[in-house]
Amino acid sequence: MIKSHDSPFHHLFDTFEVIGSGKFATVRRCVERQTGNEFAAKFIRKRSSTGRMGQALEDINREIDLLREIDNNYIIKLHDVFDCGNEMIIVLELVKGGELFELISEKGCLAEEEAVHYMKQILMAIKHLHDRNIVHLDLKPENILLSDKTAKRIKLIDFGISRKIVNDLDVKGLYGTPEFVAPEIINYESVNTGTDMWAIGCMAYILLSGASPFLGDTKQQTFVNITAADYHFDDQYFANISNAAKDFISGLLVKNSKYFTNYSI
């Protein structure tokens, strides 16, 4: 069981170059002095009680709790957690094969059998999550890393916006008299495992063609394309792709938005 240390992170690790950065977090390569082992350390700024900067502790702890529960060869492992006052440090397994996104950028697109090889691993990682009612919610080639260039083994990263799915039909956590709850509470669109499956469909399309199925010239156009599920298999890219591959993608790019108006008190 990973415990939070009271010994400071900087006594145990040397930190090196930045390997990723987001709004409130920076990821750096680091080395555990005692063992010489390398890790990825995600430094997350905590939101102070007054300020708006930084990430809420509830969100940080959600990511850590999800990482503690996950144990799969296709998902980056949690090594340790350090609470350093105004920041939380999550120490994660480090891999050096780069992003799947870079591989596609270099090659344009992948041969079908290579795409199948990666897709199988991605599906096994997602099955591990969905079997635990965890949805990733940020699946994209940038978050699929290669353990190393030769082995063609993938590692899924970044559970920063991942969630535990509560049973769809039983709207938990809805309190109070229906008359007073906010509209978005009564009629909300639930995220569910289908949300991840849609993203997997997009990734399969990208692996095979190098093109993104819904990308428009503007963000607005992209949203219009997505909500209309408006995509097609452009012969320029898909002429030599098997029907099985196209059927696989079509089966995933299916809108399944759900609206709930029921409420249980």
Residues interacting with ligand BD4, by CB under 6 A? 19-20, 27, 40, 42, 76, 92-95, 99, 142-143, 145, 157-158, 160
User: To the nearest whole angstrom, how small is the minimum distance from the Cβ of residue 106 to ligand BD4?
Assistant: 16
Is the CB of 94 or the CB of 115 nearer to ligand BD4? 94
Is the CB of 143 or the CB of 195 nearer to ligand BD4? 143
The token pair that represents 179 in the structure block: 């008359």
> Is residue 72 a contact partner of residue 127, using CB atoms and an 8 Å limit?
no
How many whole angstroms separate alpha carbon 14 and alpha carbon 37?
A: 11
Is the CB of 37 or the CB of 257 nearer to ligand BD4? 37
> Is residue 33 a contact partner of residue 12, using CB atoms and an 8 Å limit?
yes
Q: Does residue 230 have an active-site annotation?
A: no
In the DSSP assignment, the letter for residue 217 is: S
Q: Please, which residues have CB within 8 angstroms of residue 163's CB and are 6 or more apart in sequence? A: 62, 134, 135, 137, 191
Q: Which long-range contacts (C-beta less than 8 Å, at least 24 apart) are formed by 106-111?
A: 107/210, 108/210, 109/206, 109/207, 109/208, 109/209, 109/210, 109/237, 110/207, 110/208
Tell whether residue 46 is among the known ligand binding residues. Answer: yes
Is the CB of 87 or the CB of 158 nearer to ligand BD4? 158
Choose among 216, 214, 209: nearest CA to 246: 209
Check 80, 83, 138, 168 and give the catalytic one: 138
Indicate the residue whose CB is closest to ligand BD4: 20
User: To the nearest whole angstrom, how small is the minimum distance from the Cβ of residue 145 to ligand BD4?
Assistant: 6
> Is residue 94 a contact partner of residue 29, using CB atoms and an 8 Å limit?
yes
How many whole angstroms separate alpha carbon 233 and alpha carbon 218?
A: 21
Is the CB of 27 or the CB of 171 nearer to ligand BD4? 27
The token pair that represents 62 in the structure block: 């959600």
The token pair that represents 214 in the structure block: 């819904």
User: To the nearest whole angstrom, how small is the minimum distance from the Cβ of residue 97 to ligand BD4?
Assistant: 9
User: To the nearest whole angstrom, how small is the minimum distance from the Cβ of residue 260 to ligand BD4?
Assistant: 31
The token pair that represents 32 in the structure block: 């555990």
User: To the nearest whole angstrom, how small is the minimum distance from the Cβ of residue 84 to ligand BD4?
Assistant: 17
What residues are labeled active site? 138
Question: Residues forming the annotated binding site for ATP?
Answer: 46
